[in-house]
């Protein structure tokens, strides 16, 4: 009877193991992009982040943009989405701009929206102008008032004076919160020398409604935007607005206190006690 050798027993087992092995276990010749794509399918957060770290080191841009766009849109972890947005800001092209414009205003997570907005501004020399157009397009086409307001606000760093007229139209929108976002953005544009004069001119229609209760949100947005701008021109407008209100509105108790000071507190309308008044008079007389 023939004796079976050990090699004859092990050979089928080894062949079976080789056929069942994953591609990465064979010769170690898996390309970086292939490894990244495989890791992105993992259910582990760390694997997907590692995949994006591999993508970051790949020099060839072929296929990178579409891969990152899919991650930004579809991944369920905001940390992975933020990393994908950051890489799109460095490796993305025309397709990435449209996606980033959408994700910067329509995404569910604020941190992801902010990352997409930052990335949008980093895409090439003309990204700023294109970003402004893309975001204002989102404001025009979206049916969600919250998205419209976010788009108007997000476009602020990118707009030029040619966009001001559209901003002014948004201040008159039937949705007061969109109007407020547009007015706040106009106020902020006073800080930009290129848009300053046009923004100030556009703000006039908002500021002229200072005494209309129904325009309160838009007016307050404009005031906040000017305060954020912080330029001498913005401060001058704020002072003008302050002076436009009668003293009786700024300090309702002022008329009551006018003839009784210093025995009356102008902020509260309360008279000081007799002893306090005497103390005040006494201190005044000893000087």
Q: Which residues share a beta bridge with 271?
A: 264
What per-residue confidence (pLDDT) applies to 69? 93
Beta-bridged to residue 264, according to DSSP, are 271
Mean pLDDT of successive 10-residue stretches along the chain, which has 287 residues: 57 54 53 90 93 89 87 93 93 86 86 89 67 80 84 80 83 87 90 91 92 90 91 92 71 44 44 44 42
**R_g over Cα of the chain:** 32
- At 264 the three-state DSSP class reads strand
Q: Residue 53 and residue 81: Cα distance in Å, rounded?
A: 13
In angstroms, the CA 135 to CA 113 distance is 12
| Secondary structure (3-state) at 271 | strand
What are the Cα distances from residue 209, in Å, to 90, 203, 216, 235, 236?
44, 10, 8, 19, 18
CA atoms within 13 A on the CB side of 142: 22
* Among 84, 33, 38, 24, CA closest to 59: 33
How many H-runs (helices) and E-runs (strands) does the chain carry? 17, 0
* pLDDT for position 73: 92
List the structure tokens of 183.
């007015």
Is there a contact between 120 and 153 (Cβ–Cβ < 8 Å)?
A: no
Structure tokens at 220: 């307050």
Q: Measure the N-to-C terminal CA separation of the chain; round to a whole number of Å.
A: 131
- Set out the domains of the chain in order of their start, with CATH numbers: 29-156 (1.25.10.10), 159-271 (no CATH)
Task: State the pLDDT at residue 233.
Answer: 93
Query: How far is it, in rounded angstroms, from Cα 60 to Cα 21?
Result: 29
């Amino acid at each position: 009877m023939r004796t079976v050798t050990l090699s004859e027993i092990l050979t089928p087992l080894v062949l079976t193991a080789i056929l069942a092995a994953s591609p990465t276990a064979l010769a170690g010749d898996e390309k970086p992009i292939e490894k990244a794509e495989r890791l992105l399918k993992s259910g582990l957060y760390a694997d997907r982040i590692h995949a994006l770290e591999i993508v970051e080191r790949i020099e060839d841009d072929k296929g990178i943009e579409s891969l990152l766009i899919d991650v930004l849109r579809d991944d369920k972890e905001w940390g992975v989405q933020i990393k994908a947005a950051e890489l799109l800001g460095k490796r993305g092209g025309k397709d990435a701009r449209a996606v980033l414009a959408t994700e910067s205003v329509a995404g569910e997570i604020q941190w992801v929206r902010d990352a997409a907005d930052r990335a949008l501004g980093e895409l090439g020399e003309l990204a700023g102008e294109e970003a402004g157009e893309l975001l204002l397009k989102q404001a025009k086409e979206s049916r969600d008032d919250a998205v419209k307001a976010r788009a108007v606000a997000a476009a602020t760093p990118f707009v030029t004076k040619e966009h001001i007229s559209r901003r002014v139209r948004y201040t008159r929108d039937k949705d007061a919160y969109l109007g407020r976002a547009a007015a706040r953005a106009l106020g902020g544009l006073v800080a930009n020398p290129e848009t300053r004069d046009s923004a100030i001119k556009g703000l006039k229609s908002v500021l002229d409604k200072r005494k209309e209760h129904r325009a309160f949100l838009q007016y307050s947005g404009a005031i906040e935007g000017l305060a954020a701008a912080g330029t001498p021109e913005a401060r001058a407008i704020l002072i003008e607005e302050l002076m436009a209100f009668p003293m009786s509105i700024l300090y309702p108790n002022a008329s009551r206190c006018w003839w009784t000071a210093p025995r009356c507190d102008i902020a509260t309308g309360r008279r000081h006690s007799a002893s306090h008044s005497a103390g005040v008079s006494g201190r005044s007389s000893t000087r």
